[in-house]
Structure 1
């Protein structure tokens, strides 16, 4: 009897121990996965953090903290409807869980364009925090941003926005469009499975960046099927396009290579018209690249000024726009900050200088935005940049608009953003700007900037060729104003014989072409065009060698 009682006691103890161990194991697994998910989130590896949390969700679907963290991740991943669903569930389970839930839900509604719902949530959040927290969180600025957004949405600008077809866009990310000054070449960054190496970023599940090119087909009035840039531009790593130079000779590339770049740096690749391939990108300059991130670049049409974004010290905020001048062929000056009229304590991340050299478009969170990053315009007049103006809705939306470029004639623009909730990736859109005028939200006269963009630029480009050999040659080309006789600009054709000018249109110029050992030629060139759609004149100059005496 005693033995039986002893055996039953041992059996009960073992059973109790196994149950306790099993419960502890389950609880420890929850704790471990929550910790692992937290660490991945801190690393900004949101996709893998979400996967970790989802692995335990079936068992802990009523856990408020788990729902809260998943809602946060969906917000970071810009899956706003999912974010709202999980955050609302978290506060329903435990209303006292986190007081920032209304703020996060407000952000999701704001990004979706549900402004009234966003304002309701933001007001809830504001009423639950202290005066110091109100100041630190900038909630009043965000509420003002929502009220501004309501005005912009109620007063849309006159544009037509069309998503480019599958000649350019894919079901993957297609972003960062850039256009040559003649409007014939479009480059962009894409994350497609056919990219060089075919590697996937484990943190996002997306393919690595490559640079693609599409060409305008005049006869069909559409873009050609985009192809990867040929040559040595794309690699198995990340190759993101920053811009193409106005003359189409150079592509500025963003690279972040361990052991090579200091952080994210600007590289430059040269096009070889003989091989029709792009060269191996080279670090643009030690004066431009720093130990901080350099992320956007745009070259003036004369090739002498580079506008770029850097997070280096000495600025006004996180990312600022800086300017560097070309000293020699491959030498750039130490950059200067473009100034507080443009840069803010927030983030400026995208920059584009129009071929007219005086109109700057850039992306910012620091000026009056509709939501997220918006595109702004500023004009350089009398030695200073004007106060930036928001381009208005629907060019800007409550989501992020990052990259914007405007054609030389001001008729077309290209922008990349995620405008379709059903589309997984970012796409490139064309904007018909023919009837566009700057919005005037505060009913103030726009003294610094004309309400409508009017282009006064024409392009003169072509080749200098040796008459006998047929070879393209380097020569000095000087342009004079025919009326005044004043020199307008002087350049040299490159080693491939190519030259490129942006000049005032509706004028006649005298062009002088000279080279040692050749007869100098002078010709009048008329840049008056019958159609406002024409602004490019291709003119080749044939040089004769001097006769030996």
Structure 2
């Protein structure tokens, strides 16, 4: 080993002797080399600087000083020394570290043409197949890609979010409820621990942020939270202070009439003995995407997904696969409210350098190839933690400015709006129809064409408020249930081509009492027919459950028509339709002695028959307990 070092020094000194016109400069350089080989960089730097004082054009000294500055993360001086070196010896292609470093820094500064020139030289002098070669090769690809993207930049005008929200030294990872009325985010002052804060938008103005809850915020770190569409389920990261499986774990808490529940570790199906963080929750709170550096992934930090099972247990998290994950890091996922579009940051996919932001959409079988969001959303530095509003109109992100980290927002450009589906929300209140007192209730949104449950959510027991993401198009039934009340069924359509706004429904429930009448809104027949259409089965199932829960009461199912046609034919049609419903209920096991059918024809209209809107209200099936 000593022989190798001696030979190296001898060759280096011989090579430098022709360069150094001052023997004292050479002596200082040799002493610097001795210290450098002993890893005493402080002493080595002192001797190298003395050598420069004697001979300012000593190129080898600039290279060594650049190496020392780079090793100590003094990037400014490293850049200065390496640039001076290449000015003095522009034809010497042997300074690989100098070319690699300057190329990387130029890439970070969005100087892609210059970066590519530096990196091409570095690649020529790097052994093919090595990790360094692969890294430089990827950087060159990023430069080529960036130069193409820069020809078509996006028009973006970012603005600082209101000062009331940016109230600490650092605030980041914002998330919103589906209607944008509440923001949750992590904030802290320099030197203090992370906590989660909430602010509500009232009359278009954000309120003063408050700590989310004492059961969530502690003297340790809580951050990178994610929230369900209705603001009732939260997942956050805790890296100390709680019982964890690894260095950082994900915890879940739920909001009810008593406040936020004590956070629970999401368990070994989600968390691992490693780093698990930066989760994004689906709008219904039943799926979670997060980043983890656990063993068995595609590279370093990968994205994983877990879903909530039928027994309310989280299923074993699975890697999102090679389409999303690379040999590098994938972090800060954001699952859009539409449940299909995944935004995330990647160091491995082709980009403009560092971490870039990407979009991938879920198809029936897989995820689409990630799409780089383009310049200036991405540039040569690191980008992450992008959040998109449910309606797809606005984007939110965090930006470091010196020691401050602030939250920004911008209107999403048309080019990106076209790459994914926006969503709308359904909101309102549930209340006692007689007293107007707010009611808690369980609610299901069902696709009437497929009979599938689109989402399940609840109205708040104190306020009666509910909020859920509404799929962009389709025919839906809304079923609202409370143990002491008639279930309420509502039907509506939402068409993508109509470009409608969000939907609000106020829902009054009637107590289950004798002689109370309830319209069954989702019972369907073809015109002048009495055979039940398939879209009716969900409503009929709910009706059957309701009657089973009230065995002491008898039930009348009544049929009603508009005044089109003769009174006799309408009477007969209404009787047959009511009987079709009763026949279904008897097949479900209900006693025929407790359920009767009655046709009223056109004799009990609810609205005028002068127009179609009124006639459609008069064609109905009703339920009456007696």
Scaled by the length of structure 2, the TM-score of the pair is: 0.65
Give 2:404's match in structure 1, choosing from 405, 410, 425.
425
Q: What do residues 438-490 of structure 1 show as CA deviations (whole Å, max 9, x unaligned)?
A: 8xxxxxxxxxxxx44342x32223444456787765544333456x5945446
Please state if 1:84 is matched with 2:66: no
Shift of the 395–339 alpha-carbon distance from structure 1 to 2, 3 Å rule, reads same
Q: Partner of 1:491 in structure 2?
A: 456
CA distance in 1, matches of 2:168, 2:66: 30
CA distance in 1, matches of 2:81, 2:181: 47
Q: Name the SS of the counterpart of 1:460 in structure 2.
A: strand
Shift of the 163–517 alpha-carbon distance from structure 1 to 2, 3 Å rule, reads closer
Please state if 1:461 is matched with 2:461: no
CA distance in 2, matches of 1:493, 1:134: 53
Q: What do residues 236-292 of structure 1 show as CA deviations (whole Å, max 9, x unaligned)?
A: 2222223222221233221112783222111123335555xx444321222100011
Please state if 1:512 is matched with 2:495: no
Q: Partner of 2:565 in structure 1?
A: none
> Does the CA-based 8 Å contact 2:446-2:452 persist in structure 1?
yes
Give 1:502's match in structure 2, choosing from 463, 469, 487.
469
Q: Partner of 1:479 in structure 2?
A: 445
> Does the CA-based 8 Å contact 2:430-2:459 persist in structure 1?
no
Shift of the 83–211 alpha-carbon distance from structure 1 to 2, 3 Å rule, reads farther
Once the two structures are overlaid, the 10-residue window that deviates more, 470-479 or 312-321, is: 470-479
CA distance in 2, matches of 1:379, 1:280: 34
Q: How does 1:246-325 map to 2 (within 5 A)?
A: 246-257=229-240, 260-261=243-244, 262-272=246-256, 275=259, 278-325=260-307
Q: Partner of 2:523 in structure 1?
A: none
| Greater length-normalized contact order (CA 8 Å, ≥ 6 residues apart) | 1
CA distance in 2, matches of 1:425, 1:73: 24
Give 2:224's match in structure 1, choosing from 241, 262, 269.
241
Q: Partner of 2:316 in structure 1?
A: 334
Q: Name the SS of the counterpart of 1:109 in structure 2.
A: helix
Number of aligned positions between the proteins: 468
Give 1:354's match in structure 2, choosing from 311, 318, 336.
336
Please state if 1:68 is matched with 2:53: no
CA distance in 2, matches of 1:303, 1:107: 41
The Cα shift of 1:81 comes to 4.6
Q: Name the SS of the counterpart of 1:512 in structure 2.
A: strand
CA distance in 2, matches of 1:153, 1:352: 25
The Cα shift of 1:333 comes to 0.6
> Does the CA-based 8 Å contact 2:275-2:294 persist in structure 1?
yes
> Does the CA-based 8 Å contact 1:72-1:104 persist in structure 2?
no
Q: Partner of 1:42 in structure 2?
A: none
Q: How does 1:108-123 map to 2 (within 5 A)?
A: 108-123=105-120
Q: Partner of 2:197 in structure 1?
A: 212
Q: Name the SS of the counterpart of 2:158 in structure 1.
A: strand
The Cα shift of 1:172 comes to 2.8
Q: How does 1:153-164 map to 2 (within 5 A)?
A: 153-164=150-161
Q: What do residues 409-438 of structure 1 show as CA deviations (whole Å, max 9, x unaligned)?
A: 1100112234x5xx4333322121152348
Q: How does 1:192-203 map to 2 (within 5 A)?
A: 192-193=189-190, 200=191
> Does the CA-based 8 Å contact 1:182-1:536 persist in structure 2?
no
Greater CA radius of gyration, 1 or 2? 2
Once the two structures are overlaid, the 10-residue window that deviates more, 97-106 or 120-129, is: 97-106
The Cα shift of 1:137 comes to 4.2
CA distance in 1, matches of 2:511, 2:496: 30
Shift of the 109–465 alpha-carbon distance from structure 1 to 2, 3 Å rule, reads same
Q: Partner of 1:436 in structure 2?
A: 415
Q: How does 1:100-115 map to 2 (within 5 A)?
A: 100-115=97-112
CA distance in 2, matches of 1:248, 1:316: 33
Shift of the 175–468 alpha-carbon distance from structure 1 to 2, 3 Å rule, reads same
Q: What do residues 45-75 of structure 1 show as CA deviations (whole Å, max 9, x unaligned)?
A: xxxxxxxx7x998998668656634444447
Kindly report the root-mean-square deviation, in angstroms, between the aligned alpha carbons of the 2 structures: 3.9
CA distance in 2, matches of 1:470, 1:406: 36
CA distance in 2, matches of 1:224, 1:58: 56
> Does the CA-based 8 Å contact 2:66-2:78 persist in structure 1?
no
Structure 2 unaligned regions, length at least 5: 1-31, 51-60, 515-551, 554-626
CA distance in 1, matches of 2:500, 2:71: 48
Q: Name the SS of the counterpart of 2:350 in structure 1.
A: coil
> Does the CA-based 8 Å contact 2:229-2:467 persist in structure 1?
no
CA distance in 2, matches of 1:530, 1:139: 47
Q: Partner of 2:55 in structure 1?
A: none
CA distance in 1, matches of 2:218, 2:407: 23
Give 1:542's match in structure 2, choosing from 501, 509, 512.
509
Scaled by the length of structure 1, the TM-score of the pair is: 0.73
Q: Name the SS of the counterpart of 1:381 in structure 2.
A: coil
Q: What do residues 336-376 of structure 1 show as CA deviations (whole Å, max 9, x unaligned)?
A: 22221111111111211111111111111111111111111
Q: Name the SS of the counterpart of 1:85 in structure 2.
A: helix
CA distance in 1, matches of 2:500, 2:355: 31
